[in-house]
Structure 1
Amino acid sequence: MRKYYEKNIPNESRNTVYETAAHLCSGEEDNVYLYENNDCVSVGAGIYSEIIVTAEEIVIKRKSAGQSIKVSDLCRDLDNLFKSLEVDSWRAYGIANFGLARYIYGLDVGTETGELLHLIIPDREYRIDKETILLRALNEDDLKTMEKNISNVFLNGVREENVTFYNGKEVLIFDEEYYKNIVGLAVKEIENKEYQKVILSRKIPVHSRLDMLQTYMHGRHKNTPARSYFYSFPNLEVTGFSPETIAEVDASGTVYTFPLAGTRALTEDSKINKNLKKELLQDPKEIAEHAISVKLADEELEQVCVPGSVAVTEFMSVMERGTVQHLGSRLRGKLRAEYNPWHAFFKLFPAVTASGIPKKEAIEAIGRIEKDARDLYSGGVLTYDSNGTLDAALVLRSIFQNEEETWVRVGAGIVEMSNPERELAETREKISSIAGQLVEEQQRYIQLSV
Structure 2
Amino acid sequence: MGQLCKPKIIPHLGEPLDTAVALLQHHRDEDYYGYELGDVWYIGIRSYASLVIGPDGTNATWTRQDGQRQAKIADSSLNDISRSFISEFSASGRIFGQVGFNYTAHTSGQAYIPGQWPLLSLMVPFIQVVISRESIILQSFDESQTMGPLNFLQNYRNGGPADLGPNRYPPVDILTNPDEYKVRVAKSILEIKKGKYTTAVPSRIVNLPQRVDMLATLLHGRQANTPARTFTFSHLGIQATGFSPEIVLSIENQVASTDALAGTRLWTEENCGSIANPLLNDPKEVFEHVIAVRGAIRRLTRLCSPDTISVKRFMSIMPRGNVQHIFSRVTGCLLPGKDGWDSIRSNITVPGVPSQRNMEAIQTFEPTPRDLYGGAVLMLDGTNLFEATLAIRTVFQDKSCQWLQAGAGITEHSNPEREFVETCEKLASVAPYLVAECTS
Same fold (TM over 0.5): yes
TM-score range, shorter chain: over 0.9
Corresponding residue for 1:448? none
Corresponding residue for 2:307? 308
For residues 102-150 of structure 1, give each alpha carbon's deviation from its aligned partner in whole angstroms, at most 9, with x where no partner exists: 2133212314347310111011011111111110110110122121110
Query: How far did 1:349 drift?
Result: 2.1
Question: Aligned ranges for residues 60-71 of structure 1 at < 5 Å?
Answer: 60-68=62-70, 70=73, 71=75
For residues 358-412 of structure 1, give each alpha carbon's deviation from its aligned partner in whole angstroms, at most 9, with x where no partner exists: 2332431112321112101111011112234110110111001111111110110
Question: Aligned ranges for residues 189-228 of structure 1 at < 5 Å?
Answer: 189-228=191-230
Q: Is the 8 A contact 1:277 1:325 kept in 2?
A: no
Question: Aligned ranges for residues 245-284 of structure 1 at < 5 Å?
Answer: 245-250=247-252, 252-267=253-268, 270-271=269-270, 273=272, 278-284=277-283
User: Structure 1 counterpart of 2:372, which letter?
Assistant: L
Counterpart CA distance in 2 for 1:181 and 1:396 is: 22
Pick one of 214, 229, 232 that aligns with 2:231.
229
Question: Aligned ranges for residues 42-57 of structure 1 at < 5 Å?
Answer: 42-54=42-54, 55-57=57-59
Counterpart CA distance in 2 for 1:375 and 1:76 is: 22
Query: How far did 1:84 drift?
Result: 2.5
Query: How far did 1:256 drift?
Result: 0.6
Q: Is the 8 A contact 1:13 1:153 kept in 2?
A: no
Assess, with a 3 A threshold, how the Cα gap between structure 1 residues 258 and 438 changes in structure 2: closer, same or farther: same
Give the alignment's TM-score, normalised by structure 1.
Answer: 0.92
Q: Is the 8 A contact 1:246 1:394 kept in 2?
A: yes
Higher mean C-alpha displacement, 116-125 vs 330-339: 330-339
1:243 aligns with 2:245: yes
Corresponding residue for 2:128? 125
Assess, with a 3 A threshold, how the Cα gap between structure 1 residues 129 and 277 changes in structure 2: closer, same or farther: farther
Corresponding residue for 2:403? 407
For residues 322-362 of structure 1, give each alpha carbon's deviation from its aligned partner in whole angstroms, at most 9, with x where no partner exists: 01000011011122213222112223223x45xx4223324
Assess, with a 3 A threshold, how the Cα gap between structure 1 residues 272 and 303 changes in structure 2: closer, same or farther: closer
Question: What is the SS of the residue equivalent to 1:339?
Answer: coil
Assess, with a 3 A threshold, how the Cα gap between structure 1 residues 337 and 67 changes in structure 2: closer, same or farther: farther
Assess, with a 3 A threshold, how the Cα gap between structure 1 residues 278 and 92 changes in structure 2: closer, same or farther: same
Question: Aligned ranges for residues 13-412 of structure 1 at < 5 Å?
Answer: 13-14=13-14, 16-28=15-27, 29-54=29-54, 55-68=57-70, 70=73, 71-85=75-89, 88-113=91-116, 115-170=118-173, 172-250=174-252, 252-267=253-268, 270-271=269-270, 273=272, 278-350=277-349, 352-353=350-351, 356-412=352-408
Question: Which 5+ residue runs of structure 1 have no aligned equivalent?
Answer: 445-450
Q: Is the 8 A contact 1:99 1:113 kept in 2?
A: no
Query: How far did 1:153 drift?
Result: 2.0
Give the superposed CA RMSD.
Answer: 2.0
Counterpart CA distance in 2 for 1:416 and 1:36 is: 37
Query: How far did 1:5 drift?
Result: 1.3
Assess, with a 3 A threshold, how the Cα gap between structure 1 residues 143 and 265 changes in structure 2: closer, same or farther: same
1:440 aligns with 2:436: yes
For residues 27-74 of structure 1, give each alpha carbon's deviation from its aligned partner in whole angstroms, at most 9, with x where no partner exists: 124221100011211110001111012433543111322335635333
Assess, with a 3 A threshold, how the Cα gap between structure 1 residues 169 and 146 changes in structure 2: closer, same or farther: closer
Corresponding residue for 1:447? none
Query: How far did 1:151 drift?
Result: 1.6
Aligned positions, number: 435
Question: What is the SS of the residue equivalent to 2:195?
Answer: coil
Q: Is the 8 A contact 1:31 1:232 kept in 2?
A: yes
Question: What is the SS of the residue equivalent to 1:48?
Answer: strand
Counterpart CA distance in 2 for 1:35 and 1:297 is: 23
Counterpart CA distance in 1 for 2:117 and 2:402 is: 20
Query: How far did 1:286 drift?
Result: 0.7
Counterpart CA distance in 1 for 2:266 and 2:242 is: 19
User: Structure 1 counterpart of 2:355, which letter?
Assistant: K
Question: Which 5+ residue runs of structure 2 have no aligned equivalent?
Answer: none
Query: How far did 1:218 drift?
Result: 0.4
User: Structure 1 counterpart of 2:332, which letter?
Assistant: G
For residues 279-325 of structure 1, give each alpha carbon's deviation from its aligned partner in whole angstroms, at most 9, with x where no partner exists: 00111111111001101110111122123121112211100000100
Give the alignment's TM-score, normalised by structure 2.
Answer: 0.94
Assess, with a 3 A threshold, how the Cα gap between structure 1 residues 358 and 106 changes in structure 2: closer, same or farther: same
